[in-house]
């Protein structure tokens, strides 16, 4: 897919407009419930915790985790 944007929009997206546009699309898809935070993170090559932080800081919902879920997430985050 090729998408042409006005120069003003491209400039507003900053030094990496393709990345910024992709992040915006992913944020929209998450907010619409069409993509998970974890999958968006994978597309952006983020680890799961970084993806959760990135998208929840932008207002996206991430389900509450039980203590066992958190422990599991931390075990995966500590793996090399």
The tens digit of pLDDT for each residue in 49-64 reads 888 888 888 777 666 5
Count CB-CB contacts under 10 A for residue 63.
7
Per the structure, the complete domain to which residue 45 belongs is given by 7-77
- 2 domain residue, yes or no: no
- 43 domain residue, yes or no: yes
Position with higher pLDDT, 72 vs 65: 72
- 32 domain residue, yes or no: yes
pLDDT given at position 32: 86
Integer CA distances (angstroms), 76 to 2, 5, 14, 47, 49, in order: 36, 39, 33, 10, 9
- The answer to whether the beta carbons of residues 43 and 19 sit under 8 Å apart is no
pLDDT given at position 27: 87
pLDDT given at position 78: 65
Structure tokens, 57? 């800081």
pTM of the entire structure?
0.68
- 1 domain residue, yes or no: no
Q: Is the pLDDT of residue 12 over 70?
A: yes
């Amino acid at each position: 897919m090729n998408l042409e944007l006005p120069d003003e929009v491209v400039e507003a997206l900053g030094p990496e407009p393709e990345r910024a546009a992709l992040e915006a699309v992913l944020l929209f898809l998450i907010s619409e419930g069409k993509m998970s935070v974890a999958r968006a993170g994978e597309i952006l090559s983020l680890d799961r915790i970084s993806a959760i932080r990135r998208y929840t800081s932008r207002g996206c919902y991430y389900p509450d985790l039980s203590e066992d879920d958190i422990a599991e997430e931390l075990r995966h985050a500590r793996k090399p």
